[in-house]
A and B are shown apart, each in its own frame.
Chain A
Amino acid sequence: MQDKGTSSHSPSFSPMLFAGLALRPLPVVLFRPLVKHILKRIELLYPEVFQRLAPLGHCRFLIVPTDFHCCFLLSLDGGKASIEVLQNNENLPDADTTISGGMLSLIQLLEGSVDGDALFFSREINVQGDTEAVLTLRNAVDSVDISFEEILVGRLAVLKPLLDRAISKAAMLYETVHKDFRLVHKSLVDPLTLRISQIDDDLDRQEDRMIKVEKEIKKMKTSRRNQTNTART
């Protein structure tokens, strides 16, 4: 999972990041049909979601998995949705809203298997821009019981055992990577974090000094006001 304390701008250091790095040679074009297929399936399976999204009118969400080399631009227009897949290092387009977080968090959010607010409180996902639009999206998605599995394979029962096997393999791989990753994280990231936090501390000290100066000014203002008041009476 994403580690608390990392900034939203850098990729979160998660097992997904390794997976992402492994997938990096794959060009974005390969993902496009899959992602478009997923959106189509969602539209087909859960039309209520789009009814709830309709009041948003025209709105663009940039969804940035911080541990993956692609991001997604979801455009809504009166309840009609389209999606684009973009390379993270491309010039990212303007969006009304940016949602970033670890890929797994984002998928769990789509399924409603975790509480969106909880992810936000614990800083695992980050939101910038039009907060109302994000809330609408979250509420709309949460209004139905979305199953990622059903989206992928639908009711084609034949495919199910295959998918299950793939999922359990991935889960095993994930477990292993997760253990190693903690160790690597410590050696790689900690020294850097320390340095950054020193800089932040410096800035905080300066900010504190500013607050003190402002306090002084306020005091002076008040005493001046009291003087004028006394003068008046």
Chain B
Amino acid sequence: MSENQKLTMGPVLYNWPAEKKRDFYFRIADEAPVDVVYIGEVTCSKRTPFFTPYIPDICERLEASGKKVVLSSLALVMSGRERNELTDLTSECPWEIEANDLSAISLLSGKPHVVGPFVNLYNEGTLGYFYQNGASRIVLPCELPVDSIAKLTDSAKGREIEIQAFGRLPLALSARCYHARSHNLSKDGCLYVCDKDPDGMDVSTLDGDPFLAVNGTHTMSYTVNNLLGELKELSELGVTHFRLWPHDEDMVKIAEVYRRTLDGDDDIEKSNAELEELVTFAPFSNGFYHAVEGTKMVE
């Protein structure tokens, strides 16, 4: 492995207060060994107005520290307002855009853009189509097993491919807000209750087994995806970018562990133990990669 493998920080998917998010990005800019930082509201358009004013300053600081900025678009686009915002973003944005919905891909046709992890991409036919349509990098969906990843990197022929390496995985999108529903509120009158759970609201089964996590209209895995032990294989397959999803934990230290491993530190056991210390809210999993239940951890 070498420095060719880039580490990226995905957009914050949870509803953190705008100032907290700003401080998080400032710290990432100043301290985290990541190459690319994604920023923007992906989960719920109702959250957008609070954070938007901070974005220019953050981008400036990120770029000043040598990091590449990508603006992420909304994952499920429905209302007129959401469509207008997307049209503005795709026509005027000075930074590259991560398209998380076919509408964004449509608007960005012919321009360089990143195809985000919320876009269905399962095979070389679709991969080729997206590159041809202008994609500079493609982030693969979370449920792809290593065999598929291998086929896709093979057909990417050196073009950029990113996988989700760390964090709770966004499993499902909905028009309905489960955070609001669980508080007996409507989506329109949600009181932004999703801000109570900075890593998502844990959901367990009737037997008390933890199962999923709710983040507004998104449903996340309860377990924290961790592909530290698979980084070497993925790099050899030709994956160029590795994404960390932000959590309310020390993301700088987590990024350091990943960077170190990408740089060739092969004491996975020690590094994983270190991650265990850093991530306190849920256990790790890597099942999707190994073509078994996503909830499983294959040693």
Q: Report A-B touching, CB under 8 Å.
A: yes
- Chain A residues proximal to chain B, CB less than 8 Å: 211, 214, 225, 228-229
Would you list which residues of chain B between 202 and 240 have a CB under 8 Å from chain A?
Answer: 208
Interface size on B, residues (CB 8 A): 3
Smallest CB–CB gap between B251 and chain A, Å? 14
List of B residues within 8 angstroms of A211 by Cβ: 208
Number of residue pairs across A and B with beta carbons under 8 Å?
6
How far does the alpha carbon of A225 sit from the alpha carbon of B281 in the complex, in Å? Answer: 9
List of B residues within 8 angstroms of A229 by Cβ: 280
- Chain B residues proximal to chain A, CB less than 8 Å: 208, 280-281
- On whether the beta carbons of A225 and B208 are closer than 8 Å, the reply is no
- On whether the beta carbons of A214 and B208 are closer than 8 Å, the reply is yes
Q: List 6 A-B contacts (CB under 8 A).
A: A211-B208, A214-B208, A225-B280, A225-B281, A228-B280, A229-B280
Smallest CB–CB gap between A229 and chain B, Å? 8
Smallest CB–CB gap between A144 and chain B, Å? 35
How far does the alpha carbon of A211 sit from the alpha carbon of B281 in the complex, in Å? Answer: 21
How far does the alpha carbon of A229 sit from the alpha carbon of B279 in the complex, in Å? Answer: 11
Smallest CB–CB gap between A212 and chain B, Å? 12
Smallest CB–CB gap between B132 and chain A, Å? 39
How far does the alpha carbon of A211 sit from the alpha carbon of B280 in the complex, in Å? Answer: 23
List of A residues within 8 angstroms of B208 by Cβ: 211, 214
When C-beta atoms are compared, the residue in chain A nearest to B249 turns out to be A229
When C-beta atoms are compared, the residue in chain A nearest to B281 turns out to be A225
List of B residues within 8 angstroms of A225 by Cβ: 280-281
List of A residues within 8 angstroms of B280 by Cβ: 225, 228-229
List of A residues within 8 angstroms of B281 by Cβ: 225
How far does the alpha carbon of A225 sit from the alpha carbon of B282 in the complex, in Å? Answer: 12
Smallest CB–CB gap between B244 and chain A, Å? 20
When C-beta atoms are compared, the residue in chain A nearest to B208 turns out to be A214
List of B residues within 8 angstroms of A214 by Cβ: 208
Smallest CB–CB gap between B180 and chain A, Å? 22
How far does the alpha carbon of A214 sit from the alpha carbon of B204 in the complex, in Å? Answer: 12
Smallest CB–CB gap between A227 and chain B, Å? 12
When C-beta atoms are compared, the residue in chain A nearest to B250 turns out to be A232
Smallest CB–CB gap between B23 and chain A, Å? 12
Smallest CB–CB gap between A224 and chain B, Å? 10
Smallest CB–CB gap between A97 and chain B, Å? 23
Smallest CB–CB gap between A230 and chain B, Å? 13
When C-beta atoms are compared, the residue in chain B nearest to A228 turns out to be B280
How far does the alpha carbon of A228 sit from the alpha carbon of B280 in the complex, in Å? Answer: 10
How far does the alpha carbon of A229 sit from the alpha carbon of B250 in the complex, in Å? Answer: 11
When C-beta atoms are compared, the residue in chain B nearest to A233 turns out to be B250
Smallest CB–CB gap between A204 and chain B, Å? 12
When C-beta atoms are compared, the residue in chain A nearest to B248 turns out to be A229
